[in-house]
């Protein structure tokens, strides 16, 4: 109880401290730009050539918004980072491949333009939660998307996917559908099988584990997940093992006594275990 009270008091003190940061909202990253093809940039008031965090929101590829960043902008700008949060077009209005290319285009814009906003285009950390975790991992492993935008892996200093369940789509689809079937329950009408194209070849191609290979320049990974959830734990370990086998630095961390949304919201909270792992990962990046 005392530990919980100390943590709560530390958090209240943390959020009460005013921190000067500048926000530039709804910057288009495409020409012509759809209303969803925009991003926000949070910058410290001072500094040049600062490392950059590129954040991808979640929402099942169907919902979500770049403003869902909780305390992350404050946390990262306090630590001397430029923080970028992007929107992208959503299902079912576009297909998954178009959605992924939107995020790649956004990151390409950041690489080309972030220097004007105090950021270093050669020091970019990619992060995302839930659906954003799948997108972050795929962009940092399957080089085709960023290569099309003129971005090479050597500018990526790390990738932090947060509680994703789709690094290996065929395994996730098989697990979810078997669970429904064995319990006599109907299959979801718009589950992963349909979201990702209902074509087994697409499921393989949209899986980050498919494209892991040694010598590609894939950046180091910190894979955060809810330790008590079977699906995200299995998927995190699956991706971690694939990266490890290809000699790519990776840490898989399962957070205890948390939830899918809480794990994300608490990133940056003092004494939060996942936050401490994140800070360790950021050293030297």
Q: What is the pLDDT of residues 87-129, one digit of tens each?
A: 999 999 999 999 999 999 999 999 999 999 999 999 999 999 9
Confidence of residue 5 (pLDDT cuts 50, 70, 90): very low
Quick one: pLDDT at residue 19?
56
| CATH number listed for the domain at residues 17-282 | 3.40.50.1820
Q: What are 154's two structure tokens? A: 């050597």
pTM of the model: 0.92
CA distance 83 to 93: 28
Those residues whose C-beta lies under 8 Å from the C-beta of residue 148, and which sit 6 or more positions away, are: 101, 104
Quick one: pLDDT at residue 188?
87
In the chain, where the domains are located:
17-282
User: Is pLDDT at 2 greater than 90 in this prediction?
Assistant: no
Confidence of residue 26 (pLDDT cuts 50, 70, 90): very high
């Amino acid at each position: 109880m005392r530990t919980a009270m100390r943590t709560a008091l530390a958090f209240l003190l943390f959020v009460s401290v005013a921190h000067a940061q500048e926000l530039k909202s709804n910057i288009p990253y495409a020409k012509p730009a759809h209303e969803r093809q925009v991003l926000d940039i949070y910058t410290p008031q001072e500094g040049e050539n600062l490392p950059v965090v590129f954040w991808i929101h979640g929402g099942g590829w169907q919902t979500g918004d770049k403003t869902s960043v909780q305390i992350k902008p404050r946390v990262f700008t306090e630590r001397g980072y430029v923080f970028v949060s992007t929107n992208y077009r959503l299902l079912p209005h576009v297909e998954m491949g178009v959605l992924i290319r939107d995020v790649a285009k956004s990151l390409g814009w950041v690489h080309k333009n972030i220097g004007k906003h105090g950021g270093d285009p050669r020091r970019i950390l990619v992060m995302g939660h839930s659906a954003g975790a799948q997108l972050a991992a795929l962009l940092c492993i399957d080089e085709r998307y960023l290569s099309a935008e003129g971005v090479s892996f050597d500018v990526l200093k790390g990738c932090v996917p947060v509680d994703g369940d789709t690094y290996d789509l065929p395994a996730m689809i098989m697990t979810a559908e078997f669970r429904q079937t064995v319990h006599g329950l109907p299959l979801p009408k718009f589950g992963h099988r349909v979201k990702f194209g209902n074509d087994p070849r697409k499921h393989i191609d949209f899986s980050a584990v498919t494209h892991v290979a040694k010598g590609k320049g894939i950046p180091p990974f910190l894979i955060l997940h809810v330790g008590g959830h079977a699906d995200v734990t299995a998927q995190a370990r699956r991706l971690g093992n694939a990266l490890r086998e290809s000699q790519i630095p990776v840490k898989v961390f399962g957070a205890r006594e948390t939830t899918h949304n809480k794990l994300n919201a608490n990133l940056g909270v003092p004494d939060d275990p996942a936050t401490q792992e994140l800070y360790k990962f950021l050293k030297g990046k």
